[in-house]
Amino acid sequence: MSPIGIFDSGYGGLTILRQIRRLMPRYDYVYLGDNARAPYGTRSFEVVYEFTLQAVRRLFDMGCPLVILGCNTASAKALRSIQQNDLPKIDPTRRVLGVIRPTAEIIGKISKTRHVGIFATPGTIRSRTYDLEIAKLFPDIQVTGIACPMWVSLVENREYASPGADYFVKKRIDDLLTADPDIDAVILGCTHYPLLMDKIRTYMPGGIEIIPQGNYVAHSLQDYLANHPEMQQRISQGGTASFYTTEYPEQFNESASVFLDQPVEAHRITLS
Ligand code: DGL
């Protein structure tokens, strides 16, 4: 088995896995959620890097030739160091890809006003990775980032559909529209946030497009594999998905089954 590995701090990466499997069901996948140490979004650069590298190494040990960081925070804070400093030492033939670049690439086609909002974790917003990536590709676009520190916790604690979530969702939407009233597109720059979609739709004014990442990341991966046959041929094609969590599996199974709409039986592992 040489599956595609997908990593997130917790449940968020399941929104990426879901879209990738929908587009490319024939490959094998391994999902790893570091639920015991989520959220990452309020942690320092050094800690996110250290935890992400541990997860990547573990997915490599499980046989993954390719790992997707299904987490914006890890993509913003750890991806470049892992690609440039660690991969050449660990195994230069393996690859680690993130979710920010594929998301930044599509925004030029979507925004007409050239004013775009980003909702993300405090870590992703502070890193300014979206601002930099979008500026490289579309210098005419003005980006306003809003950190949403509570949103990941609402999802990890399965409070995303509760009435209490309304307050935090509305508050950040208000912050964004106050900061830039000309926005016509908002990127959900955290893979947990699609699980809050119903609430976000409720409070976002009509005419503003809400952009979850999964579909774009999936298509970008498909293009990547088409352009890298040497990698594509290494990935096993049994159509399976297996799940690992650093927390107790019972709760992971319950939540992940709801998020993925299929039964999930996860195994517990520890990362170090
Ligand atoms: N899903 C992660 C992201 O995309 C959230 C991280 C967290 O705060 O744990 O940024």
Annotated active-site residue 190? The verdict is yes
Single-letter amino acid, residue 253: N
CATH class of 4-98+215-268: alpha beta
Token pair listed for 2: 């040489």
What pTM, to 2 d.p., does this model score?
A: 0.96
150-179 pLDDT per residue, tens:
999 999 898 999 999 999 999 999 999 999
> Rounded to whole angstroms, what are the CA distances from 93 to 90, 131, 234?
9, 30, 11
Half-sphere exposure at residue 18, Cβ-oriented, CA atoms within 13 angstroms: 20
> Quick check: do 4-98+215-268 and 100-212 share a fold?
yes
> Rounded to whole angstroms, what are the CA distances from 104 to 99, 116, 134, 138, 235?
9, 11, 5, 9, 27
Using alpha carbons, select from 168, 165, 173, 166 the residue that is nearest to residue 118.
Answer: 173
Give the position, in ligand 1's atom list, of the atom nearest the Cα of 76.
Answer: 10
Cα(190) to centroid of ligand 1, in Å?
Answer: 5
Domain boundaries of the chain, sorted by first residue: 4-98+215-268, 100-212
> Rounded to whole angstroms, what are the CA distances from 222 to 25, 60, 121, 226?
11, 20, 27, 6
**Cα–Cα dist 244/9, whole Å:** 12
Mean pLDDT, all residues of the chain: 97
pLDDT in tens, the chain (272 residues): 999 999 999 999 999 999 999 999 999 999 999 999 999 999 999 999 999 999 999 999 999 999 999 999 999 999 999 999 999 999 999 999 999 999 999 999 999 999 999 999 999 999 999 999 999 999 999 999 999 999 999 998 989 999 999 999 999 999 999 999 999 999 999 999 999 999 999 999 999 999 999 999 999 999 999 999 999 999 999 999 999 999 999 999 999 998 899 999 999 999 99
243-262 pLDDT per residue, tens:
999 999 999 999 999 889 99
- The pLDDT value given to residue 258: 86
Cα(217) to centroid of ligand 1, in Å?
Answer: 15
Instruction: Check if CATH label 3.30.70.20 holds for domain 100-212.
Output: no
User: 119 near 190, Cβ under 8 Å?
Assistant: yes
Question: Burial of 261 by CB count in 10 Å (0-12 exposed, 13-18 middle, 19+ buried)?
Answer: exposed
